[in-house]
Amino acid sequence: MLIVPIVEGLDWRRPPPVTVALILANCLVFFFYQTGDTTREAKALEAYSSSSLPRLELPAFRQRLRETQPKLAPFVDKADPAQLVGRMESDEGFMRELRAGRIVAPQNPDYAKWKEDRARFDATLGKVSYRRFGFMPADPRPVTWLASMFLHGSLMHLLGNMVFLFIVGVAVESALGGFWYLLLYLAGGLAGDAMLYVVNPSSILPTVGASGAISGLMGLFTVVFGLRKVNFFYWVIVFFGFKQMRGLVVLPIWIGWEILQYVTNKGSGVAYMAHAGGLMGGALLGLAVTKRFAGARVEQFHEEREQGAFDKAEYERARALVAKLDFKAASTVFARLAQRFPQEEALLRQWHAIAKSDTGSEAYHRAASGILALTKGDAALRVFQRQIFNEYFANAKPAPRLEPQVLASIGLQFARAGELAEAERAADVLFRQAPGEPRLAILWEALAHALDKSAGDGSVAKAKRYRALIGARARAARAPRPA
C-alpha cells in the first residue's frame, strides 16, 4: 500500500532550506562514507574465511536452514560461504544462540580459538557503517540513536526515503519553519528507535535509515493539516488513483498498515515498528508544538495557501471569460489580481491586451500604468514597455494620466537605455505635472549624461538645458524664504 500526500500551493522550485540540507546530508553520508562498506565487508569476509569460524559455525547454520526452511535444503550445501555468512549474521535467533555458547559450547576443544576468531571478526565487521552506527536495541549506544537516521542499506533505500522526505518535508517545513521542523524530524527518528527498543529490547540486529524520522514527519503532516482536506495518491495492489481526505483521517491508516506489516512480515527485515513509532511520536509531539508554540504560523501558512488556491482559480476564471469574449468581466477579475500581484508581468500583459479595446476605460489606464511601473525584467520587457509608453501617449483618452512616480521610474529606465525621445517625453510631462517631484533632478541628470554621448541634432543644447534646470532647482532650494 502506498498513500502519498499531494499538497497544492507550495513552491516546489524553491524548497525550504532544512529539507534540502537533510537530503544533502543523507546523500553525502551514503556516497562519501557508506561506499567504503564494500571494502570493509570484503576485509571482514576475508578474515572470516581465513579463521576457524567457517568450520565451527557454518555446518550448524546449514542444518538450521534445512530444518527451518526445507525448501532451501537443495541449495544450502551449494551456497557460497559469503552468502551464508551474511544470512547467518541477520538470523537473530541463531546469532543469539551462537553468542550464548550454545552452538560452539565451552566444552568444545576449539572453543577458545572460536572465541578469539569471533572477536576478531566482530571487530572487523564492526567497522562497516551499519554495524558501527546502526541502532541496535540490545546495545543502544547514544551515538546510534541519531547516526542511524543518516545511514541507508542500499541506493534504492536512500532514493525511496529521499523522495518521501522531499514530498512531505516541503509541506511541513513551509508550515512550521526550519527550527521546529528540524527538531521534530529528529524527534520522530528517536521515537522510531524507542519503539524498536520497547517492542524487542533484546534485538541484536542493527537498523539504519531515515524512515523513522520521515514517518515522524508524516505523523506531523496529519496534525499540521488536521481536518483540512488534502489530495492523496494511493496505490493498493492493482488499484490506484487520487482521493481527497482530511489530514488526521490518514494517520490511523498509516499506523495500522505498519502494525499489520509487522505482524504478517516479521522476517522481512523492514523496521515496521520504527515507522509506527515515528508516526505516533511525530503526531503527538506535533500536536503539542502546534498548540503551544507554532499555531499562529501554521494558520498563516494555510491562509496563504488557500488564498493562493483562490487566486489561481480567479486567474483561470479570467482566462475562461476571455475565451467567451466577455472582456468586461474578465477585466474586472484581472484588475483584482493585478492589485494583489502588481509585479506579475504576464498577468498585466493579459489585462492590457483586453483593456486596450477601450482606450478611455479605467482598466486601460491602470493596465498601462502597471506595465510601465515594472522595474524587474529582461530586455524583452524593456522593449514592450517602450511600445506601451508610445501607444499609451498616442491613444489614451481623454489624456494620459500616469502617476509622477511611474513617470520618474520609466523615464530613468529609458534614459539609461538610451531611449532619449521617450525619456525626454517622460521628463517634460513630469515637469508639467509635478515640478516638485524629488526624482525629477535625477532624471534630468540621467538625460543630460545620455545626451552628452548622443550624436543627435541639438543634443548638446538639450543637455545644457537639463543641467540649467538642475542648477535652477538647486539655487531655488538654497534661497532664503521670507519670514
For 201, the grid coordinates are 529490547
Range scoring the smallest mean pLDDT among 318-327, 352-361, 461-470: 461-470
Average pLDDT taken over every residue of the chain: 92
Query: For residues 467 and 449, is the Cβ–Cβ distance under 8 A?
Result: no
CA distance 185 to 26: 13
CA distance 310 to 315: 9
Report the pLDDT value the prediction gives residue 3, as an integer from 0 to 100.
94
More confident residue, 265 or 374: 374
**Beta carbons within 8 Å of 105's beta carbon, 6+ residues apart:** 111
Query: For residues 156 and 211, is the Cβ–Cβ distance under 8 A?
Result: no
| pLDDT surpasses 80 at 479 | no
Query: Nearest CA to 295 among 195, 380, 177, 399?
Result: 177
Report the pLDDT value the prediction gives residue 332, as an integer from 0 to 100.
94
Range scoring the smallest mean pLDDT among 250-259, 374-383, 453-462: 453-462
| pLDDT surpasses 70 at 482 | no
CA 39 from chain center: how many Å? 34
Query: For residues 230 and 247, is the Cβ–Cβ distance under 8 A?
Result: yes
| pLDDT surpasses 80 at 226 | yes
Query: For residues 327 and 354, is the Cβ–Cβ distance under 8 A?
Result: yes
Q: Which residues pair with 235 in a beta bridge?
A: 2, 240
Report the pLDDT value the prediction gives residue 483, as an integer from 0 to 100.
57
H-assigned helices in 107-203: 111-125, 129-133, 142-147, 155-176, 178-199
Q: To which residue does cell 532650494 refer?
A: 477
| pLDDT surpasses 80 at 396 | yes
| pLDDT surpasses 80 at 477 | no
Range scoring the smallest mean pLDDT among 22-31, 68-77, 196-205: 68-77
Instruction: Count, in order, helices (H) and strands (E) of the chain.
Output: 23, 3
Residue type, 304: E
For 124, the grid coordinates are 572487523
For 255, the grid coordinates are 499506523
For 94, the grid coordinates are 541463531
Report the pLDDT value the prediction gives residue 267, as an integer from 0 to 100.
73
For 185, the grid coordinates are 524530524
Three-state DSSP at 154 gives coil
Domain boundaries, the chain: 149-293, 296-381, 403-477
**Peptide bond just before 398 cis, omega within 30 deg:** yes
Its sign, for the CA torsion 324, 328, 330, 331, is positive
Average pLDDT for residues 61-66, to the nearest whole number?
90
- Per residue, what are the HEC states of the chain? CEEEEECCCCCCCCCCHHHHHHHHHHHHHHHHCHHHHHHHHHHHHHHHHCCCHHHHHHHHHHHHHHHHCHHHHHHHCCCCHHHHHHHHHCCHHHHHHHHCCCCCCCCCCCHHHHHHHHHHHHHHHCCCHHHHHCECCCCCCHHHHHHHHHCCCCHHHHHHHHHHHHHHHHHHHHHHCHHHHHHHHHHHHHHHHHHHHHHCCCCCCCECCCHHHHHHHHHHHHHHHCCCEEEEEEEECCEEEEEEEEHHHHHHHHHHHHHHHHHHCCCCCCCHHHHHHHHHHHHHHHHHHHHHCCHHHHHHHHHHHHHHHHHHHHHHHHHHHHHCCCHHHHHHHHHHHHHHCCCCHHHHHHHHHHHCCCCCCHHHHHHHHHHHCCCCCCHHHHHHHHHHHHHHHHHCCCCCCCCHHHHHHHHHHHHHHCCHHHHHHHHHHHHHHCCCCCCHHHHHHHHHHHHHHCCCCCHHHHHHHHHHHHHHHHHHHHCCCCC
More confident residue, 291 or 266: 291
| pLDDT surpasses 80 at 375 | yes
Q: What is the DSSP letter of 244?
A: E
